[in-house]
Structures are given as C-alpha cells and as structure tokens.
Amino acid sequence: MFLSEYPNLEIEIHDSAKSAIQQADVLITCTVSDKPYIPFEWLKKGCFVSNISIMDIEPEVFLKVDKVIVDDWDQSNREKKVINVLVEDGLFSREKLHAELGDIIIGHKNGREHEDEIILLNPMGMAIDDIVCAKWFFNAAQEQNVGTVLPLL
C-alpha cells in the first residue's frame, strides 16, 4: 500500500548502518540500542538527525554538529541522559544549545540557515506530542470507521 501511494519512491538496501547513514540527508534513529554506534564522521554535510531512540548517537556528535535542538531543555537534561552527562562533564550547556523546538516554531530562533549545516534534534518526548499524535490517529480511525471503542472504566 505504501509504495502504491508513492510510486516514484526509491528504496535502497545497504549492507551496514554506516553505508546507509553516510548517504542520508535525514537520519531518524528508531532502535533499541543500549550503546552508541553512530560517530560524527558518518554524517554527511547538511544531514538532519532526529535522535528518537536516544542511545544511537555517540556523545561527541552533540559537540560537533552545527546545531543541537531539543523539545524541552529540562527533559533533555535529566539524570543519566546523554546531554546531562555532557553537562555534568562540563562539555555542554544550555548556552551551547541552539534552541528548544518551540523557539524555532514561533520564530524566535532560526532552523536551518545554510544547506551544509548538520542539525541534531534530540526529542525526549513531551506528553503534548503524544496527545497530538493520538488525536491524529483517533481522527483518522473515525474517518475510516475502523478501530475498537474501549470503555475507560
């Protein structure tokens, strides 16, 4: 179904994460890795990285990319999270953070300013993000008349 909706989409299979990442304009980590394995050197110029699964990106990447963006500083700087470890080690700070996502959305900070920037988004998750996604899926299910209504109590 997905490919029928996007007939011009090209899918490439790679023999390693390194090979795939080195060619990526957009990298979204969605793994259950418990240790980092993606170094800065794998990222090509202009790459946008969304570090959803938290542990895939080597800590050095946070220090070498052009911009680090988080959804919420306090959430991202919680105990034992990568940013917090870098802060505790004196290597990163709120001042080195480019922006919280909301600052970009409302125009207080710029997002991409040139095509070669490597930008790292480190979304820790905010309940409002989950609520917006849930509402979208709920509306889609209602429109398609699918799903199961469950009692709340």
| Domain extent for 79 | 2-125
Domain contains 144: no
pLDDT at 126: 65
pLDDT-derived band at 5, boundaries 50, 70, 90: confident
Q: Are 118 and 47 in contact (CB under 8 A)?
A: yes
Domain contains 131: no
pLDDT at 10: 84
Domain contains 148: no
CATH code where residue 75 lies: 3.40.50.720
* Average pLDDT of the residues of the chain: 90
Of the candidate ranges 9-13, 46-50, 129-133, the one whose mean pLDDT is the lowest = 129-133
pLDDT at 85: 92
Domain contains 33: yes
Domain count, the chain: 1
For 39, 84, 86, 114, 133, the CA distances from 58, given in Å and listed in that order, are 5, 14, 11, 24, 28
